[in-house]
Structure 1
């Protein structure tokens, strides 16, 4: 065995041991919290979140009525909240530097997470040593929560923490009930720990529609002071969450010569891209994981709407027995109506259809965040017949076709969610292609880092 293999195995063993230790801490912390509440306040905390219990029934009766809420809160909820805040002791607020506060906060967060994991099924995602970064991903619905961050918010609140806790736990229960109803009264575990790990490790791809003619005027011809005026004008219409970006950008531009164009003063790509997103962005797709784009979205676009399906062979049936999702099989076996350039960008787009948006025409590295302009001419032809409903109907026909094969294993439709994700992404791309065809706009692709 090579040294690198030994190191890898050692790292894997250490990671497994860390995970096992953390799981023990979570289970013990959850037990300590429930035991302390029972011993000190005479409360069985699980009863507070019992769907048939008084707290949940009252919640349904008075939701949204603050006056009724104040009068109708069950005694156990009042007792629990009083006990919860009492754990802060004589301190004015939660202080995680105090060991007793830290221990209680950890036990509370562990109880929230473990209670929800046992109730609904899920996976702990233990990133690093700080519990605030630990997440719980559910197995039946695609949703992550941060139990320890939630626990901290509740302990720092001045009032109404228990009502908020019970409401949130009940909301999650209802979300699972709704999914069960959609699944024909079945509990289906769709999402593994790997699903959630991918969400935080897989880079994302996004399509944008840019007005580069307007940007060229602002970047290469207009005085910097005019760019700042335009940015401030855009700030008035920007979402509140984007205001700080524009404010920081304006502060950075204050250092430039206000009389000269920015393009004469800098070639900084990050600055160029930030200005472009504020002044020239006309449309953007929702970011999608790169492997979804490369393995499913673009191939499905090349498949088009098939008239018929090929016969399944023994290899196809073997793939189904090994667990291949039905939509993955659809993409695998249905031939392309439109030829893809396997050696091209994203395994689909001819390199001659690519261009650089930057002044210096150096080689682009999309994996490092560089933008690339894509000529949409081939997309127009392929997306002309695309319709979300038609595509999903055709996939449903394929599922029925597979089930009609007497040699194929009996399988539930585990690919529908992936098919819907691909359909939404294709609809997004089609909207961007249509928009880029108007007013001489440009279709741009970029890669984004995984969510934190």
Structure 2
């Protein structure tokens, strides 16, 4: 495969192949052996019936999933792409149509049902969908790649919001048809490009129309969690920070908040000096070297929020089987930290740390434009977060989104402003 399976999937696949070979006394080709024949060997391999809660059985399902992915890659050019919501940490995509597949999940379902031959039915269904896509595109459609899938599917970006609880509850207590009317009206007033308006109508309004029209939105979270979260965001959000990658928030931005602005820096060793002279961004070294002045949770969300400080936005979201992308945060512990935090002093502190490292290295820092960009972005985002938490009135929430969502946030904000802003009524 051009984009190979994650290492843990490859390892599991190798374990399954080795175990089947030992059992059969000869090599077993997992890419060609019929699934019923593979299934016939499983009771001896598992020591009984398949148990989805048994970790060893899960490894077996993961390995068979890797083989399924390879088969689909050979037939249809399928590839792996990063997807944090998938149990494998990655999902399978196809170049000719937007089809997202979790091989592990499909194998688990087949093994639980005691019918591994369902994978042949799955393959036939995919073959049919791809055939229709190729025929419909007349062979001239643009091919999709891993980057396209990750941009559209993987929730790799996030932002912080402050939401009005009353407006949020009102939206969740509304029906899809009522919300669709409000959104359609807002689209007519929002200052957005025509193509964005058409896309919004084609995706959001269509999704609302597919829900039960007279049933509250909060009662349909289990069937359409993403559209319910979007409605809560559109009608309830009052202000937000900019969006940035999850890793940037978790590995750099929030640690900067916990470190603060120390006057002195700890001793550094030869390895850290060498990293500095080889061009590692001073901001990254600063986060690695300088201890926190404010204690952060050992575990939890982004290394900043204890599990007890994170909850669903609304009780109705507890019924969702899908991972939640909109979470409410208890900011009482961090509010005084943010209130005393000065983003400009943070920038000055990192600059002082850079000079400190130059003194230890005996030479200047190598040019690193990326460090300046990261430092500026961190300063802006922490400034946004401080204003949001200290001055905002409402629930502070965390919204996870795809790269595509992050890129369209400006247009979404225009629709949100049209929904929440004053309306001119001509008499």
TM-score by length of 2: 0.53
Native 8 Å contact 2:279 2:366 kept in 1? no
Rg larger in 1 or in 2? 1
Partner residue of 2:28? none
Which residue of structure 1 lines up, in the alignment, with residue 53 of structure 2? none
Instruction: Provide the secondary structure at the position in 2 that maps to 1:215.
Output: helix
Paired residue for 1:163? Answer: none
Secondary structure of the 1:377 match is coil
Q: Does residue 232 of structure 1 match 2:187?
A: no
5 Å-filtered alignment, 1:50-449, equals 203-220=156-173, 222=174, 225-238=177-190, 239-240=192-193, 242-244=196-198, 246-248=200-202, 249-254=204-209, 261-264=216-219, 267=222, 268-360=224-316, 362=318, 368=323, 370-405=325-360, 407-408=361-362, 410-414=364-368, 415-434=371-390, 437-438=392-393, 441-449=394-402
What SS does the corresponding residue of 1:445 show, helix, strand or coil?
Answer: strand
Displacement of 1:359 in angstroms is: 3.3
CA offset at residue 409 of structure 1?
Answer: 5.2
Measured after TM superposition, the shift of residue 301 of structure 1 is: 0.7
Contact 1:208-1:282 at 8 Å conserved across structures: yes
Asked if the contact 2:168–2:235 (Cα under 8 Å) also holds between the matched residues in 1, the reply is yes
Say if 1:301 and 1:413 are closer, same or farther in 2 by CA, change over 3 A: farther
Report the number of matched residues.
272
For 1:345, what is the secondary structure of its paired residue?
A: coil
Distance 2:329 2:321 in 1: 14
- How does the TM-score come out when normalised to structure 1? 0.50
Unaligned runs of 5+ in 1: 12-96, 103-128, 136-196
Cα 1:395–1:199 change in 2 (3 A) is farther
Provide Cα deviations, 1:221-254, integer angstroms capped at 9, x if missing partner: x455543443234323433365335534444445
1:313 is displaced (CA, Å) by 3.0
Contact kept? 1:215, 1:279, Cα under 8 Å: yes
Provide closer, same or farther for how the CA distance between residues 363 and 341 of structure 1 changes in structure 2, counting only shifts above 3 A. farther
- Following superposition, the deviation at residue 429 of structure 1 comes to 2.0
Taking a change above 3 Å as real, the CA distance of residues 203 and 390 of structure 1, as seen in their structure-2 partners, is same
SS where residue 357 of structure 2 aligns?
helix
Shift of the alpha carbon at 1:399?
1.3
Deviation at 1:427, TM superposition (A): 1.9
Distance 1:397 1:298 in 2: 20
Distance in 1 between residues matched to 2:285 and 2:208, nearest whole Å = 52
Question: Deviations for 1:146-173, whole angstroms, at most 9, x for unmatched residues?
Answer: xxxxxxxxxxxxxxxxxxxxxxxxxxxx
- Greater RCO between the two (CA within 8 Å, min separation 6)? 2
Alpha-carbon distance in structure 2 between the residues aligned to 1:417 and 1:327: 10
- Secondary structure in 1 matching 2:158: strand
SS where residue 378 of structure 1 aligns?
Answer: coil
Output the CA distance in 1 between the equivalents of 2:155 and 2:401: 9
Provide structure 2 residue ranges, at least 5 long, that are not aligned to the other structure. 1-9, 18-30, 32-65, 71-137, 408-427
